[in-house]
């Protein structure tokens, strides 16, 4: 299928991502949110922007560098997109620091949480800082004077650095006027001063303030004219020639260290930086004034994420909660296999616990009747009970097969380490299909029961990562349905073996059938509407970008199908445009938890088809990844998905943002007295508060 809609009927991806960051930043602006959580949102927004520059802006700059003239579905080329991105990114970052300096910092100070600036230190505080500098900081610093024998040092991606202007001659009679001091990553960026010294409950000192105060100690006998913090963001895309590579893991291990030294894409400097140092840094990193960001405050707001963990103030944080556990699994030592044989089990994270998934693997690892375990791993973290259980299973002689995605961005090193450990104990480790990331979330256990082999499967919308299962909303389904288990087994066979694609019973799979099945389901609603029946599509996902899917949704709208889209991040579809998409509504939910579920509902003449998936409606998910989309067949569980995953979010009038045809978002304002917040309601319904 090729869409026949004009470029102006699609929105730009990069600008859409900046719109998403505006919505995140709005959380930091919201005084109804606990104060330390507002600080977290500020850090999350800064982290999102870091990745945006490392990947998306870096990609645009690379296109321009090679002279690409290609355009996206929106008709914009890299030059035009980058120009608009720079303008909006400057505005966004300026607002971040204005919010930090004029609202969040003063509000924290009013609660006894202060960032102590060096210009306000008293004599006792100065003495404490001086002692800390000589004891903890100076021994690990290596100042580099810039002269013919000491060229500009290699600067790590996103590291904290200082450019120093000097006057005078050193011990060797050199008259170098500039130096670079790199802050080692082992040093914390904020240091908690003892309350008796800080004169407040929580007094923090920036590492940059400590170094500024004592930088002269690093250059004995010379005069420091200026000391300016800076940070460079680099291209972090990994370049592995997938046609030439013979061993993906070895190639990746060789490429990973270079990520820290990719081409520079952004330079952040202190707003008091001298013009001479500014010019020096821009020249050194081969950047222009458009890539320069002057900031009033620490150049890396992300590192302030450490603060809430150091402050014991429950009144300034979201209330704690205990994730719920389905009644059938609440009995201590419940036999997971017996329960799943009886009926499918649906888990809704983080409102419900991820522990049953870990229990499932641990039981499988220790159960003598289990003969094989197969699992995909995309992101699981450096410390994972689940991965340890797989290692234990292999050590007990079970057939353990793990499909590890080595190219899971920013998790490559952790995944390589797990792959090594698994291979050491005899597990079969494969890396999927070169050229297609394995993004599917699948876990299969094969058990011998009554002389026959019985399969059990867990399929999910999120990663097998216990920490993010407390922060992201996702669904996971346990089933022993023979046809779904056979489908999962077939996908595992594709990933580990060779052979042609076979038709699956229930699963839609990328890169083979997911796109065509989604288009077919949309067109089916269109045909029903044209036949005078009611058509309704509800889809929830992280991103909507694929042009043919958007074109199919436009056609459905024009046929009278009601389309409700819940898209957390970037959406290239223009909703509510007369003659094009007047029956389409797009909303984004930004709340305490990161909305990560992918749910696709098609009314289908009252059949009410419900699918859960690992995939968004993006080109990469449809065509360049291994993904699975699976139906919820149990009627009770299907109703749960509709009620908890869709209806609750469509009724939300607290955390919802509604999108207009220009790609701008307006916060949903309730016109009724009853406030409905999907995440809070689901917490009350499925979890319990801590005492």
pLDDT tens-digit series, residues 517-541: 999 999 999 999 999 999 999 999 9
CA end-to-end span of the chain: 56
The 10s digit of each residue's pLDDT in 264-289 is 999 999 999 999 999 999 999 999 99
- DSSP per-residue string spanning 128-191: HHHHHIIIIIGGG---EE-BTTBPPPP--TT--EEEEEEES--TT-----EEEEE--TTS-SEE
Mean predicted confidence (pLDDT) in 457-476: 94
pLDDT of residue 147: 73
The position carrying tokens 């908890």 is: 644
- Residue of higher predicted confidence among 643 and 690: 643
Report the sign of the C-alpha dihedral through residues 101, 105, 109, 110, in that order: positive
Q: Which CATH number does the domain 7-316 belong to among 3.30.1840.10, 3.90.79.10, 3.30.70.1050, 3.40.630.30?
A: 3.30.1840.10
Give the confidence band of 3 by pLDDT, cuts at 50, 70, 90: low
User: pTM for the full model?
Assistant: 0.92
Indicate if the pLDDT at residue 2 is higher than 90.
no
Give the up-direction half-sphere exposure of residue 678: CA atoms within 13 A in the CB hemisphere.
Answer: 24
The 10s digit of each residue's pLDDT in 139-170 is 999 898 887 556 888 899 999 999 999 987 66
Say whether 465 is catalytic.
no
Report the sign of the C-alpha dihedral through residues 11, 650, 596, 344, in that order: negative
- Considering the candidates 214, 348, 349, 439, report the single residue annotated as catalytic: 439
Mean predicted confidence (pLDDT) in 341-355: 97
The CA distances from residue 380 to 414, 418, 441, 644, 669, in Å, are 8, 9, 11, 26, 38
Q: Kindly give the pairing relationship between strand 472-479 and strand 594-595.
A: parallel
- d(CA 160, CA 232) in angstroms, rounded, equals 8
Q: Kindly give the pairing relationship between strand 370-377 and strand 442-449.
A: antiparallel
- Residue of higher predicted confidence among 240 and 119: 119
Mean predicted confidence (pLDDT) in 15-27: 97
Looking at 48-57, 195-204, 248-257, 389-398, which range is the least confident one?
A: 248-257
- d(CA 596, CA 613) in angstroms, rounded, equals 10
Give the confidence band of 251 by pLDDT, cuts at 50, 70, 90: very low
pLDDT of residue 242: 46
Mean predicted confidence (pLDDT) in 166-182: 76
Indicate if the pLDDT at residue 241 is higher than 60.
no
Mean predicted confidence (pLDDT) in 304-312: 95
DSSP E strand stretches across 462-559: 472-479, 508-510, 536-541
- CB-CB contact of 573 with 581 (8 Å): yes
Could you tell me the two tokens for 405?
Answer: 């995605």
Looking at 332-336, 371-375, 469-473, 649-653, which range is the least confident one?
A: 332-336
Give the confidence band of 172 by pLDDT, cuts at 50, 70, 90: low
Indicate if the pLDDT at residue 637 is higher than 70.
yes
The 10s digit of each residue's pLDDT in 598-623 is 999 999 999 999 999 999 999 999 99
- CB-CB contact of 644 with 348 (8 Å): yes
Indicate if the pLDDT at residue 409 is higher than 60.
no
Domain boundaries, the chain: 7-316, 321-502, 509-689
Architecture of the domain delimited by 321-502:
2-Layer Sandwich (3.30)
Other C-beta atoms closer than 10 Å to the C-beta of 670 total 12
Q: Which residues pair with 113 in a beta bridge?
A: 202
| DSSP element (H, E) containing 689 | strand 688-689
Give the confidence band of 245 by pLDDT, cuts at 50, 70, 90: very low
- Residue of higher predicted confidence among 180 and 412: 180
509-689 matches 7-316 in CATH topology:
no
Give the confidence band of 238 by pLDDT, cuts at 50, 70, 90: low
pLDDT of residue 412: 67
Which CATH number is 509-689 given? 3.30.870.10
Indicate if the pLDDT at residue 581 is higher than 90.
yes
Indicate if the pLDDT at residue 378 is higher than 50.
yes
Indicate if the pLDDT at residue 46 is higher than 70.
yes
The overall average pLDDT reported for the chain is 91
- d(CA 147, CA 164) in angstroms, rounded, equals 13
């Amino acid at each position: 299928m090729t869409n026949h809609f004009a470029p102006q009927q699609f929105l730009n991806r990069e600008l859409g991502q900046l719109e998403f960051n505006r919505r995140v930043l709005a959380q930091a602006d919201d005084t109804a949110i606990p104060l330390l959580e507002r600080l977290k949102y500020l850090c999350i927004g800064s982290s999102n922007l870091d990745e945006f520059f490392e990947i998306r802006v870096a990609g645009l700059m690379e296109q321009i560098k090679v002279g690409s003239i290609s355009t996206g579905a929106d008709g914009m080329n890299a030059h035009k997109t980058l120009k608009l991105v720079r303008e909006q990114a400057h505005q966004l970052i300026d607002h971040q620091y204005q919010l930090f300096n004029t609202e969040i910092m003063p509000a924290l100070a009013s609660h006894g949480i202060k960032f102590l600036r060096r210009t306000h230190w008293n004599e006792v505080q100065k003495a404490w800082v001086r002692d800390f500098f000589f004891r903890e900081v100076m021994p690990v610093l290596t100042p580099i004077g810039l002269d013919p024998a000491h060229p500009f040092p290699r600067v790590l991606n996103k590291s904290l650095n200082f450019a120093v202007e000097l006057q005078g001659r050193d011990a060797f009679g050199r008259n170098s006027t500039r130096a670079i001091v790199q802050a080692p990553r082992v040093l914390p960026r904020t240091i908690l001063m003892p309350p008796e010294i800080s004169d407040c409950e929580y007094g923090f000192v920036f590492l940059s303030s400590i170094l500024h105060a004592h930088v002269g100690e690093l250059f004995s006998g010379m005069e420091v004219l200026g000391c300016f913090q800076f940070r460079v963001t680099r291209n972090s895309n990994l370049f592995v020639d997938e046609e030439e590579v013979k061993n993906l893991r070895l190639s990746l291990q060789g490429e990973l260290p270079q990520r820290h030294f990719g081409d520079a894409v952004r330079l952040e400097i202190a707003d008091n930086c001298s013009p001479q140092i500014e010019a020096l840094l821009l020249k050194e990193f081969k950047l222009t004034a458009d890539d320069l960001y002057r900031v009033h405050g620490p150049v890396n707001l992300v590192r302030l994420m450490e603060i809430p963990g150091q402050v014991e103030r429950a009144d300034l944080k979201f209330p704690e909660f205990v994730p719920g556990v389905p009644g059938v699994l609440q009995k201590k030592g419940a036999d997971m296999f017996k329960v799943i044989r009886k009926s499918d089990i649906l888990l809704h994270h983080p409102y419900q616990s991820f522990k049953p998934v870990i229990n499932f693997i641990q039981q499988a690892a220790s159960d003598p009747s289990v003969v094989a375990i197969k699992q995909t791993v995309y992101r699981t973290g450096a410390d994972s009970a689940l991965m340890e259980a797989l290692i234990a299973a292999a050590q007990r002689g079970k057939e353990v097969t793990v499909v590890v995605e080595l190219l899971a961005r920013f998790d490559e090193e952790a995944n390589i380490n797990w792959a090594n450990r698994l291979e050491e104990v005899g597990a079969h480790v494969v890396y999927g299909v070169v050229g297609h990331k394995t993004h599917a979330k699948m876990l299969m256990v094969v058990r011998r029961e009554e002389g026959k082999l019985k399969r059990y499967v867990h399929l999910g919308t999120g990663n097998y990562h216990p920490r993010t299962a407390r922060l992201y909303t996702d669904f996971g389904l346990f089933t022993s349905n023979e046809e779904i288990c056979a489908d999962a087994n077939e996908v595992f066979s594709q990933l580990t073996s060779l052979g042609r694609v076979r038709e699956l019973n229930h699963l839609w799979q990328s890169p083979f059938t997911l796109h065509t099945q989604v288009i077919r389901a949309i067109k089916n609603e269109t045909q029903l509407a044209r036949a005078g029946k009611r058509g309704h599509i509800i889809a929830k996902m992280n991103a909507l970008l694929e042009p043919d899917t958007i074109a199919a949704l436009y056609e459905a709208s024009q046929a009278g199908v009601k389309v409700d889209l819940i898209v957390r991040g970037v959406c290239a579809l223009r909703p509510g445009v007369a003659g094009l998409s007047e029956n389409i509504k797009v909303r984004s939910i930004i709340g305490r938890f990161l909305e990560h579920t992918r749910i696709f509902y098609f009314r289908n003449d009252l059949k009410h088809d419900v699918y859960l998936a690992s995939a968004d409606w993006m080109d990469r998910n449809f065509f360049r990844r291994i993904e699975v989309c699976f139906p919820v067949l149990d009627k009770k569980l299907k109703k749960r998905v509709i009620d908890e995953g869709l209806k609750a979010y469509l009724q939300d009038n607290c955390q919802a943002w509604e999108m207009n045809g220009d790609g701008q978002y307006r916060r949903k304002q309730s016109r009724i007295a009853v406030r409905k917040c999907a995440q809070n309601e689901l917490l009350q319904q499925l979890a319990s508060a801590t005492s």
